[in-house]
Amino acid sequence: MSFFKLLQKKKDKELPQFIIKVNPPGYKKENKQRKLWTVLRNDQYEIEDDTLILKGLGAIGRIVVNLREECILRGNRVG
């Protein structure tokens, strides 16, 4: 469900019980500050040495990121 639909449901008091708070997409709170994050499918990224390659991003296409520190990944990497 989209962010704006959830806001409308909150206003109409129709929000599902398991949703406590509605936040804009791509942010979570950590130490009272918003922190940007994203979820990627296992076929949307590659890691080569100290480089992270994000691909399949629609109009953007592909982004190459040089990593300074260790990249923390959760979940299973297949392929």
- With respect to residue 14, please indicate whether it lies within any of the assigned structural domains: yes
The answer to whether residue 63 is domain-embedded is: yes
Residues 53 and 46: beta-carbon distance below 8 Å: yes
Q: What pLDDT shows up at residue 67?
A: 85
Query: Mean pLDDT of residues grouped by 10 in the chain (79 residues)?
Result: 82 85 74 76 83 80 84 67
- Residue pointed to by tokens 């639909």: 5
Q: Is residue 75 part of a domain?
A: no
pLDDT of 59: 67
Write down the pLDDT at residue 12: 93
Number of domains in the chain: 2
- Residue numbers of the domain that contains 65: 41-69
Could you give the 3-state DSSP secondary structure of residue 7? helix
**Residue 24 and residue 9: Cα distance in Å, rounded?**
15
